[in-house]
Amino acid sequence: MDVDALHDRARALLPREVYDYYAGGAESETTLAESTSAWLRWRLRPRILRDASSVSTATTLLGTPVALPIGVAPWALHGMAHPDGETATARGAAAADALMVVSTTATRSLGEVAAASDGPKWFQLYRVHSPAYTDELVRRAAQAGYRALVVTADLAVLGRRLRDAANDFVLPPRITMANHPRGEGGPGSTLGAALETMASWTFDDIEHFAGLTDMPVVVKGVLRADDAQRCVDAGASAVWVSTHGGRQADPAIASAHALPEVVDAVGNQVEVYVDGGVRRGSDVLTALALGARAAFVARPTIWGLAVGGAEGVREVLGELAGSLSVAMALCGVSDVTDVPADLLTTA
């Protein structure tokens, strides 16, 4: 089943307010809508007769070997999509040999998710409860075997998500943010209540986390060249271009449009990732041609999870992997780590 079809199935299966929570964006949802269409600013310039009989999608991400340059982006509350929550996602990602980034706001504890599969995993960090507890989460993640720390930097305050406001969305019964120490993210709580403000975070906090752990630090939510350089200066090993699924600033520049300036600024210093609207192999190939090391997807994996649990997640990732392989072969690209920039032209 292709990604659009899985989306349709998931929409039919999920309660309306849960679907809206996953599908929605902030304010006018301009950035949300543009996140997918932005990739269509470019067209492929296929190369012929290049002997594409062997196509490899294998790569490494901060040294972690993976079968795909396509990872599972962090997203809160997988438990609303499937009873097994993030443990199912972890099994599905492992089955595809894809990297999974596990969110602080998971419905299963970071240890439980780590143990659910032996696939490669990174941990995504929000400030929770207190600075000390947040540091404690970082230490636990390292101990549990997470291989990198992804600090989300674009949530100074929660974006205005009008669908959630109209639905009076709160965490449903039996849904708990398992990494929260005192039930702040428990049933009936709002997202705002669950996420203590991170408004005070600065680049010093990146420096703090980089010093706190041996895990390489990735800063997620970068949309500008100047910020990218400051992340690197503060010790980041990678930057992640993202609009947070169109759920924070709106109308913000789409990830696909911000990616080139970030690559120009820091692409020769650190790895650059991107998420936002990636729905086909051609989107991934476009991201790589623009200089990204990998592209991440969130909503597609949620739809897969809702429809088929771990197997649904694997199916979505397999679908994307197949789409990428075909796009590579048709463009005469045999290696994802060597995608030429001239593969693209503007539409």
Which of 23, 98, 218, 223 is close enough to bind a second copy by CB under 8 A?
Answer: 223
**Per CB under 8 A, 20 contacts a second copy:** no
Residue 131 binds a second copy (CB under 8 A):
no
Q: Which stretch binds a second copy (CB under 8 A): 9-17, 136-144, 161-169, 287-295?
A: 161-169
Q: Residue 86 interacts with a second copy (CB under 8 A)? A: no
The whole-angstrom separation of Cα 84 and Cα 60 is: 28
| Sign of the alpha-carbon torsion through 140, 276, 195, 12 | negative
Return the structure tokens found at 156.
Answer: 């100074």
User: What are phi and psi for residue 52, nearest 5 degrees?
Assistant: -100, 30
Q: Which residues from 166-195 bind a second copy, rule CB under 8 A?
A: 166
Whole-number Å distance between alpha carbons of 4 and 279: 9
Residue 286's nearest CA partner among 36, 58, 52 is 36
CA 310 to chain centroid: 17
130 binds a second copy (CB under 8 A): no
199 binds a second copy (CB under 8 A): yes
Interaction residues for a second copy, span 99-118 (CB under 8 A):
none
Instruction: Choose the catalytic residue: 7, 180, 244, 257.
Output: 244
Catalytic residue status for 244: yes
Q: According to the binding rule CB under 8 A, does residue 246 interact with a second copy?
A: no
Q: Which is nearer to a second copy, 107 or 152 (CB)?
A: 152
| Region 311-330 residues binding a second copy, contact defined as CB under 8 A | 322-323, 326-327, 329-330
b/e sequence 117-136, b meaning 16+ C-beta within 10 Å: bebbbbbbbbbbbeeeebbe
| Structural tokens at position 285 | 């190939």
Residue 157 interacts with a second copy (CB under 8 A): yes or no = yes
Query: Is the previous residue joined to 251 through a cis bond, with omega within 30 degrees of 0?
Result: yes
Q: Does 37 bind a second copy (CB under 8 A)?
A: no
Surface-to-core class of residue 37, CB atoms within 10 Å of its CB (0-12 exposed, 13-18 middle, 19+ buried):
exposed
Q: What is the Rg, in whole angstroms, of the alpha carbon atoms belonging to the chain?
A: 19
Q: By CB under 8 A, is residue 30 in contact with a second copy?
A: yes
CA distance 160 to 138: 28
> Of the two residues 39 and 75, which places its CB atom closer to a second copy in the complex?
39
Segment 248 to 307, residues that bind a second copy, using CB under 8 A = 248-254, 257-258, 280-282
Question: Hey, which residues are catalytic here?
Answer: 244
Chain contacts with a second copy (rule: CB under 8 A): 2, 5, 27-28, 30-31, 40, 42-53, 153-154, 156-160, 162, 165-166, 197, 199-203, 205-206, 219, 221-224, 226-227, 230, 248-254, 257-258, 280-282, 322-323, 326-327, 329-332, 345, 347
